[in-house]
Structure 1
Amino acid sequence: MIVNEPKRGTTYHFPDFSPAQRGALLYIQRVQVETEGFLSGLDVEFSPGLNVIIGARGTGKTSLIELIRYCLGAGAFTEDAANRGRQQAVAILEGGAVTVTMRDGDSSFLVTRSASGHVTTTGTRQPTCTVLAQNEVEAVGAQAAGRLHLIDRFRANRDETAKMMSNLLAHVRSLTTEILAILNDGGRLSEQIASMSAVTADLDEARKHQQQLLDNARATEDQQLRLLSLQQDSQRLALRESVVDQSESSVESLAGALTRLASDASSVLQTWPADDQDDPLTGARFLLADVERLLNTSLTRLAEVRNSLQAARNETAQRQVQVDEASRQLRQSLEELQAGIGLTTRRVVELEEYQGQLFALQNRLSERTDRLRSVSAQRDSVQLKAEELRDQVYSDRLAIVRELNRTLAPAIRIRLAKSENLEAYRSTIVAALRGSGLHYNSLAPMLAQAAAPHEVVSWVEQNNATELGGAIGISPDRASSIIAALRAGGTPDIIASTVEDGVTLELLDGQEFKASDRLSIGQRCTTVLPILLGHHGDPLIVDQPEDHLDNAFIASTLVSALQSRQPSDQFIFSSHNANIPVLGGANRVLVMNSDGDRGYLTHAGDLDAPEIIAAVTDIMEGGERAFATRAAFYRNETVSRR
């Protein structure tokens, strides 16, 4: 029984939030099933307005609805409903296919999907519709994602916005991956540089000692200048060798990435069925072949780069041999003048080479630092665009919620909270920390609640344990452990995780509003159905919307919403309740039956057609005798109360 439902007879007049979708009437005109499975050979037609599918249980009403969802890729409000619906559709097809004809203004197009998932279409417009399975209506009110989806049905261009956001977040994730690689590379370079920090001081000391020995030996000015020149040559050659080493490493990384891309390119487009000679992807395959050729050409060029680097390495090695030989001869001459000068000179040469390597590492670190600034600036720019898009989406949702509240008051109230749903964000942190040995189930909620994804990633990238620890009230040492775990590769997913707006649906129960997740199933349906029926544009398909609702609510509020439909609306309901087709003024009624092995259509037509009247009476009212008995009972009750 419904408690404090909306006022009986209330008529909701919903505004059209999606004018872009109302230009040409798009509706489901026909559904055909191939000669396989329980509904083999089924061929049904629908009309604009209210279509009601009736029939005994087990005749295929739900299966027909799930085939429409499956063919059009309509999705679901809950993951569970999506999985169950897909499984049912595939089982019903038994290897066959279903075709849906969509009417688009004055023209029509076909969408066909096989049990294996292959989709073909003759149209260019993306068909959109909303499908709710039995028991899915109440799940909408119980789950955060379902409630948000309910509001988003009113948003124009929601699919385009979702694609834009997906592309922006993919770009952010890619840039963050690069930043992570730069930071890791920079960390290794810093460690190497730190390990060589004493080179400069050691070299200065060795040079002083060398100069003392040269002065004692009374080496000529030419000998000293020659020695200095050879030592400088050794340092330059060491620098060149280090540059070649790092360049070869970078080239190998690039070659590996290009090899993977070239390998993936050939499988980007699916092979066209052998029995279909008309491949519409031929042009795309030629273009993709060009991409593959360019990638292979790039790999060939990289091989030439490798050869150039090897040539530079060989030349450097040859020059080093020459410098080493000249240095050896000069050291021998100087050793004859002063004992120990040869060993000291050799030490200076070694330290000069180390310093050359140090210079190369410092240059590389400077390049990495510059690249980090550049990539970080790019990411900031993309993140700003994503935030602006989120703000626009929130603004659109807020306008929808305000208008719905105006329309549904006082019985139903909707609240919208910006960036309130942390579930996906929290799950991403858990996944990033799993296997680290940390208590991620307790840390993830704290971190998600305390800071936005970009803040967490910023702390990780800057190794800022103080800020992170302070945000969630833990010690810097423990925060450092979190940073180390996230720096292992979790930051790209974290920064691209979605923090969605939160939607709360509330029903007036007595003197207070109760949130939909605290309501009974019937109350939840009472809250959700008026909102579902208020959207104009997309076809709405619901399996047994009367479930969990009392007849009073159906006869007043639900029927009232159906009677208020606009010419552009298409509703397809399966139902066991006669009030829906009769009081709702169904434009078309479809009667399903079954012989146990196959479900089929027996009648389809207007509500006042004789065979439809007979079917509604027999199936939904229990037959003429039962209908007459109830009618007599209600007449007698009315007379007795007077």
Structure 2
Amino acid sequence: MSESQTPKGARFIKADLHLHTPESYDYQDDETEPDDLIERFVEENIELVAITDHNTDGYYEELAEAAENEPVTVLPGIEITTGQSGEHQIHMIAIFPPDNAAAISRVKHEIGLGLDPKIAIADPTIPSICDIVRDSGGLPILAHIDQNAGAHHELADRNNPTRELTFDIDKVAALEIVSLDTAEQFPEFAHIRSSDAHDLDSIGNRCTYLKMDAPTFEGLRMALSDPESRVSVQKQLNTHMSIDSLQVEHGFLEPRKLQFNKNLNSLIGGKGAGKSSVLEQIRYALDIKPRSEDIATECAALIDWNLDPDGIVRLRVTGSTGDQYEIVREYDSAPAIYRVQDDGSVAEEPLPIPIERFREEFFNAEIHSQRELINLARDETNLLELLDTYFDLTEPKGDRDEVKAKIEDQSRDVQTLQNDVDRLIDKKHHYETLREQIEVMKEKGVDSYIEGQEDWEEERANLASTIEGVEEVEEKVDKMDLTSTINGVSPTSGPNQELLEEANSIVEDLRTDIEGLQERLEETVDDAQSEIDEIREAWNQANEEREREHSRLADEIHEEIDVNIDQFFEIRSEMHELRGASEELETKRRELENAKKQKDELFDELAEARRVLTEARQDGISALTGELNNVKVSLEPQANRTEYINWINHVLEGSGVYTKHKKAIAKTFNPHTLAEIIRTDDTNRLNAEADCPPTSAENFVTHDDLNERLIELELFEIRDEPIIELNDGGWKSLDEMSDGQQCTALLSITMVERDVPLIIDQPEDMLDNKFIFSEVVQLVRSIKHDRQIITATHNANIPVLGDAEQIIVMDANGQSGFYNTCGSIDNECVKRKTQSILRVVNRPSAIGTISIVDQSDPLL
């Protein structure tokens, strides 16, 4: 397996863009060497510095040479003393690319800085200096604006025309601030903080964090042109869950490890390059099934094509606790989860938990394949399940499911008791039939031939009851093991060792005594059983003798009174076995009524649990709606009967009940009520309230499949129905929207800020470019700092205007897909590939780079 890997894309690097060297006239230590400065940069983890000595550029070459082979990039720059001032002259800095360091000398000459840096003052105004710096390829920045010689401090009068001209967003690349509070007064500008160090110890006291692919001047330029996404004056911590890398063996994708950024990742490339394959193999590793059956079929086919027969997917993720895991899934096998050690190696043994539990407890993701959003818009049940993942409904759903489990158990108890009652009713009726037969025989005079028979039957019943009791005692004694609950005291060398040893001795003595008592008890019961068996044998012999006498007289009895004496004895014997049926029936009937009452109480609990769940959903939906702009979500409690109607239709296939009558019944009765109607064969109610004809009603309540699934029916949940509306010249519900509008609404919902990564394939499908720019891009930019996004796209707006931290340029050669180039748009190679694939061109813009010109290429 190849160990090579792609870059991770843009990240926040630590930068100090205003510091001095011994070349400045006011530097505190003239003996400082270039190596000393580089060493301090490395100590402070500063990766990008700008050398900005007062009115001179003389130290850059020495420092750049010292920085070779070190993890720091040095940019040439200068701090300019301008002629505009309040009490002090206003300072500004200018930073240039390394290959254009010579421009500083030309700028110095053009703005009139003399040979003595200590007294040099630029002739032009600040706006003019900004123009000269920009024309020379540099970045003009107003220095320490809230301190002495700073523009904000020196031009405190906000009505001063010079102030307005100085703070020109089109000319000034950034404002350097000292106090964090100052930034609030200039929200439209990029802000940086720098040490303005004049000695080694001050380096890194203040710094800026810039997001870029690598510490370069182009990265700086891009960052300052898009400060919302790329500039921070405070350290940024990415602690949210993330997918860190994907590696595929023996599949369509190359085996190189694809690394993802913790923010926005965009996969781009021509048709067939493998963009969807990347996303679906993430889904496959996590074993997250699409909600739509059609989408699930397509995803399964794509996995078969990518991995069959022996492909392996390795997915490394950072979970909710900050720990890293690697999920390994071989083709046609279950995922295995391994903990990643601190050194980056993977544990030898997998965790003993299934992937479903892992997703619940440690890591999860929200994944949408192509066209999945439009499918969700057309299915209220799936839509509700999606919304549920946005809220913490663990407790109310757990409470509901717990009550449902109790009802299932109680329903089984009720059914058992009902079966017992039915059985005892049959026994009672049979007893009455037998008693009538005996009465007929008695009327014929059979009693005169069987004097004492009732006493014998009474003895038989009593003896049988006694034997049954002894056998039950014997069975319980045989199963008894009282010593299994006795635990000895574990050995210890602690301070109370002697006491614990004494306790252990007592426990062992108790165990021995109990074992002895148990043996004697078993012997006692065995002895009693043997004696009872002897008595039963003696009684049976006496009874057999009596019955032989009756049999000898059977012909005489039958001839004289026309009674079969053997039949008489059989009936009497059976009656004795049935004689307790009436009493037992009444007992079971009381138990049944109590069980039904308890079940009704549980259904009341279930109704309350469902109400609480709905209320929790409504609270979540209210909060969700507050995060949306032109979309609002509401909830209609227990209003979605579509799933219920479909279930009824499915179960009653071939029942002879018309679909319209099944639908009418499902709309009229809730599941619990309908189950009781079926149990009681209440066809009249179906006819009266649902307008169901008698024949259809009879077919409905007697349908075998339905009767076998009554517990399932009565627990069937009529779900809450989500109502989603889009403001497009007025509020429209989903069923009033076009496909594009439906996708618009759902995409807005999926892009709210959440902990779990969002993976979405071609979110721009069915949307027009206007909405992609005005809504999707803005949503992406607002959440990507705190939520990882991985998207495949053929629309330049998302990776470019969304400022993707990782653009993954994909290509294919017919046999495999591979990662051509990876990085941010400030990477020149990535920029060229993006322009080529997504058909974009340069133009002046807010981020100073590129814009869409054509999205119609059919190969995209």
TM-score with structure 2 setting the length: 0.55
Q: CA contact under 8 A between 1:240 and 1:316: conserved in structure 2?
A: no
Q: CA contact under 8 A between 1:77 and 1:132: conserved in structure 2?
A: no
Q: Give the counterpart letter for 1:448 in structure 2.
A: A
The 3 A distance-change label for structure 1 pair 106 and 129 is: closer
Q: CA deviation at 1:558?
A: 1.2
Q: Pairwise mapping of residues 72-91 of structure 1 onto structure 2 (< 5 A)?
A: 72-91=286-305
Q: CA deviation at 1:466?
A: 4.3
The 3 A distance-change label for structure 1 pair 445 and 631 is: closer
The 3 A distance-change label for structure 1 pair 184 and 428 is: farther
1:194 pairs with 2:429: yes
C-alpha separation between the residues in 2 aligned to 1:549 and 1:466? 53
Question: Per the alignment, in what secondary structure is the counterpart of residue 579 of structure 2?
Answer: helix
When Rg is computed on C-alpha atoms for both structures, the one with the higher figure is 2
- Tell me which of 331, 335, 340 is aligned to 1:115: 331
Q: CA contact under 8 A between 2:550 and 2:565: conserved in structure 1?
A: no
C-alpha separation between the residues in 2 aligned to 1:477 and 1:333? 59
Question: Per the alignment, in what secondary structure is the counterpart of residue 432 of structure 2?
Answer: coil
Question: Per the alignment, in what secondary structure is the counterpart of residue 29 of structure 1?
Answer: strand
Q: CA deviation at 1:586?
A: 1.5
Question: Per the alignment, in what secondary structure is the counterpart of residue 572 of structure 1?
Answer: strand
Q: How many residues align?
A: 534
The 3 A distance-change label for structure 1 pair 138 and 632 is: closer
Q: CA deviation at 1:549?
A: 1.1
Which residue does 1:396 correspond to in 2?
A: 616
Which residue does 2:711 correspond to in 1?
A: 492
1:592 pairs with 2:810: yes
Q: CA contact under 8 A between 2:678 and 2:707: conserved in structure 1?
A: no
Question: Per the alignment, in what secondary structure is the counterpart of residue 564 of structure 1?
Answer: helix
The 3 A distance-change label for structure 1 pair 33 and 168 is: farther
The 3 A distance-change label for structure 1 pair 622 and 563 is: closer
Which residue does 1:522 correspond to in 2?
A: 740
Which residue does 1:262 correspond to in 2?
A: none
C-alpha separation between the residues in 1 aligned to 2:728 and 2:852? 35
The 3 A distance-change label for structure 1 pair 171 and 315 is: farther
Which residue does 2:801 correspond to in 1?
A: 583
Which residue does 2:388 correspond to in 1?
A: 152
Gaps of 5+ in 2: 1-236, 340-357, 476-528, 855-860
Which stretch of structure 1 is more off in the superposition, 324-333 or 513-522? 324-333
Q: Pairwise mapping of residues 175-324 of structure 1 onto structure 2 (< 5 A)?
A: 175-177=410-412, 179-184=414-419, 186-204=421-439, 206-207=441-442, 210=445, 214=448, 224=451, 226-233=452-459, 322-323=542-543
1:39 pairs with 2:238: no
For residues 83-106 of structure 1, the C-alpha deviation after alignment (integer angstroms, 9 at most, x for no partner) is: 322331232122211111112354
Q: CA contact under 8 A between 2:794 and 2:838: conserved in structure 1?
A: yes
Q: CA contact under 8 A between 1:53 and 1:592: conserved in structure 2?
A: yes
1:537 pairs with 2:755: yes
1:98 pairs with 2:313: yes
Q: CA deviation at 1:349?
A: 4.0
Q: CA contact under 8 A between 2:265 and 2:807: conserved in structure 1?
A: yes
Q: Give the counterpart letter for 1:396 in structure 2.
A: A
Q: Give the counterpart letter for 1:326 in structure 2.
A: R
Gaps of 5+ in 1: 1-21, 252-308, 635-642
For residues 482-530 of structure 1, the C-alpha deviation after alignment (integer angstroms, 9 at most, x for no partner) is: 333257412132234332211122224545x433133211111121111
Which residue does 1:48 correspond to in 2?
A: 262
Which residue does 1:3 correspond to in 2?
A: none
1:28 pairs with 2:243: yes
Question: Per the alignment, in what secondary structure is the counterpart of residue 596 of structure 1?
Answer: coil
C-alpha separation between the residues in 2 aligned to 1:550 and 1:201? 88
Which residue does 2:643 correspond to in 1?
A: 424
For residues 89-124 of structure 1, the C-alpha deviation after alignment (integer angstroms, 9 at most, x for no partner) is: 232122211111112354311111121132111256
Q: CA contact under 8 A between 1:237 and 1:320: conserved in structure 2?
A: no
Question: Per the alignment, in what secondary structure is the counterpart of residue 261 of structure 2?
Answer: coil
C-alpha separation between the residues in 2 aligned to 1:97 and 1:632? 38
The 3 A distance-change label for structure 1 pair 566 and 393 is: farther
The 3 A distance-change label for structure 1 pair 129 and 378 is: farther
The 3 A distance-change label for structure 1 pair 633 and 198 is: closer
Q: Pairwise mapping of residues 496-511 of structure 1 onto structure 2 (< 5 A)?
A: 496-511=715-730
Q: CA deviation at 1:438?
A: 3.1
**More helix by percentage:** 1
Q: CA deviation at 1:598?
A: 0.6
Question: Per the alignment, in what secondary structure is the counterpart of residue 530 of structure 1?
Answer: helix
C-alpha separation between the residues in 1 aligned to 2:853 and 2:288? 45
C-alpha separation between the residues in 2 aligned to 1:475 and 1:632? 64
Which residue does 1:291 correspond to in 2?
A: none
1:126 pairs with 2:362: yes
The 3 A distance-change label for structure 1 pair 338 and 561 is: closer
Which residue does 2:670 correspond to in 1?
A: 452
Q: Give the counterpart letter for 2:296 in structure 1.
A: A
Which stretch of structure 1 is more off in the superposition, 423-432 or 336-345? 336-345
The 3 A distance-change label for structure 1 pair 359 and 479 is: farther
C-alpha separation between the residues in 2 aligned to 1:325 and 1:463? 54
Q: CA contact under 8 A between 1:54 and 1:589: conserved in structure 2?
A: yes
C-alpha separation between the residues in 1 aligned to 2:652 and 2:766? 42
Which stretch of structure 1 is more off in the superposition, 139-148 or 445-454? 445-454
Q: CA deviation at 1:348?
A: 5.5
The 3 A distance-change label for structure 1 pair 535 and 517 is: farther
Q: CA deviation at 1:563?
A: 2.0
Which residue does 1:254 correspond to in 2?
A: none
Q: Give the counterpart letter for 1:495 in structure 2.
A: E
Q: Percent identity?
A: 22
Q: Tell which has more relative contact order, 1 or 2 (C-alpha 8 A, sep 6+).
A: 1
Q: CA deviation at 1:632?
A: 12
Question: Per the alignment, in what secondary structure is the counterpart of residue 416 of structure 1?
Answer: strand
Q: Pairwise mapping of residues 12-23 of structure 1 onto structure 2 (< 5 A)?
A: none
Q: CA contact under 8 A between 2:797 and 2:851: conserved in structure 1?
A: no
Which residue does 2:275 correspond to in 1?
A: 61
Q: CA deviation at 1:596?
A: 1.4
Question: Per the alignment, in what secondary structure is the counterpart of residue 592 of structure 1?
Answer: strand
TM-score with structure 1 setting the length: 0.71
